Amino acid sequence: MDYLKIILYGVISSIIFTFFTLYFGSWISMFIFKGDAYEMFYHMFTRMGLITLSGIVVTCTIIIVKKINEVNEFLKNRK
């Protein structure tokens, strides 16, 4: 497996999710969380956690799918 390529997909998905949360997340959070800019600063850590989690989920999902495909190919060739 090309793990460097898989990690690159995870980083790219994190970057895309970062732009999504920066542009659309601020509008959505204005309706959910009431407050000024100082209070909204505390939600930055929540966003960073979500960004990190999105990259981890994409990376792990790609690895799991590739492993399942390898097992399926092995079982097909075994018969």
Confidence grade of residue 33 (pLDDT, cut at 50, 70, 90): low
C-alpha distances out from residue 11 to 14, 23, 33, 34, 41, Å? 5, 19, 28, 31, 24
Report pTM: 0.69
CA pair distance 64, 31, nearest whole angstrom: 37
Predicted confidence at residue 10, as pLDDT, reads 87
Q: Are the beta carbons of 63 and 17 closer than 8 angstroms?
A: no
- Kindly state the average pLDDT of the residues 58-73: 93
Predicted confidence at residue 5, as pLDDT, reads 86
Residue whose token pair is 């994409």:
58
Q: Is 59 helix (H, G, I), strand (E, B) or coil?
A: helix
